[in-house]
A = this chain, B = another copy of it.
Amino acid sequence: MIRHSARVAAVVLFVPALVRAQDLLPSWNEGPAKKSIADFVARVTAEGSPDFVKPAERIAVFDNDGTLWCEQPMYFQFLFAADRIQTMAPRHPDWKEREPFRSVLAGDPKGLIAGGEKGLLEIMAATHAGMTADEFEKIVTDWITTARHPKTGRLYTQMIYQPMLELLAYLRSSGFKTYIVSGGGVEFMRPWVGRVYGIPPEQVVGSRGKLKFEMREGKPVLVKLPEVDLIDDGPGKPVGIHQMIGRRPVMAFGNSDGDLQMLQYTTTGDGPRFGLIVHHTDAEREYAYDRQSDVGRLDKALDEAQRRGWTVVDMKNDWKTVFPAR
């Protein structure tokens, strides 16, 4: 009798959130992925549910590259860096002869990624340091509002996933604080994620360089140094989360092995937890890649998703649309 009443109560409590999911996730096809999200949100937000999570503890973390926006033909921040190298090259005549700059100037930034971390860090240091934080913000803002994706011709901020925008809004309307936790640079993301995703700068966790406080003409500035402070990728993601958020998320969303530890860290916490992986299966509307890709490789995390019961989104079948209408 008690069990029966509890079940009735649960059904009554869960209905509003499920109905809301229908309305608020219109670009998601009906199927196990959408259902798993709506069921979980219903469970943790229904007062009286044994899995109820207090609003203050509703933290949802989202990877950016490949999870909220496209990451092909390569991470957009490296395309930004490559554009910066082109712009800066006249002041650096030696770059024509010197790797890794030569490859970038020759239009082979993808080769650079395959070549490993050392060259990449050199490119990042040359393009992301030696200026103040305010100056860098202006450079990013100029680029992000004008540069266009090589395949679609869209602005990069139009290469975002419509279903994920709806998911962000749905979670916020359910009392979640939505965070970005990305391998991308925190200062590369903050200038535009508010406008594009509705995520304020203080809810962006990312890779970061060291900074130095200085007074210049009586005004304090922060100078970006060419030294890495945190690579917020792989095992760096739980570190970034702990440093910046200070509590274990309840939901985590990723798409690659770079998100493996964030998903492990999130979903092994006590109480209800949710993990989701966006699997890029749609060569026609976007890209199809996983275990063999140099960019956004999804291999170990795909195996682990099965073992740990994480939701895997099949982009081709689960999403009605990929990008927002122009």
Contact = CB atoms under 8 A, between A and B. Distances in A.
Contact of A202 (B133, B219, B247): B247
Contacts of A154: none
A246 B186 contact: yes
A192 interface: no
A261 B56 contact: no
* Copies of chain A in the complex: 2
A8 interface: no
A246 B244 CA distance: 11
B213 A239 contact: yes
A121 interface: no
A222 B247 contact: no
B213 A245 contact: no
Interface string A183-215: 000100010000000001110100010011101
Contacts of A235: 212-213
A238 interface: yes
Interface residues of A, number: 33
A220 interface: yes
Nearest to A205: B244
A243 B186 contact: yes
A118 interface: no
Contact of A246 (B204, B219, B229, B245): B204
Interface in A235-293: 235-236, 238-239, 242-247, 261, 264-265, 268
A261 B222 CA distance: 11
A291 to B, nearest CB: 22
Contacts of A219: 268
A201 B57 CA distance: 10
Nearest to A134: B248
Contact of A133 (B56, B215, B242): B242
A213 B238 contact: yes
A223 B33 CA distance: 34
A67 B112 CA distance: 50
Nearest to A201: B246
Nearest to A177: B202
A245 B202 contact: yes
Interface of A: 56, 59, 133, 177, 186, 190, 200-202, 204, 208, 211-213, 215, 219-220, 222, 229, 235-236, 238-239, 242-247, 261, 264-265, 268
Given A56-B200, A202-B245, 11 more contacts: A59-B202, A186-B246, A201-B245, A202-B246, A211-B239, A211-B242, A213-B236, A213-B261, A219-B268, A220-B265, A244-B244
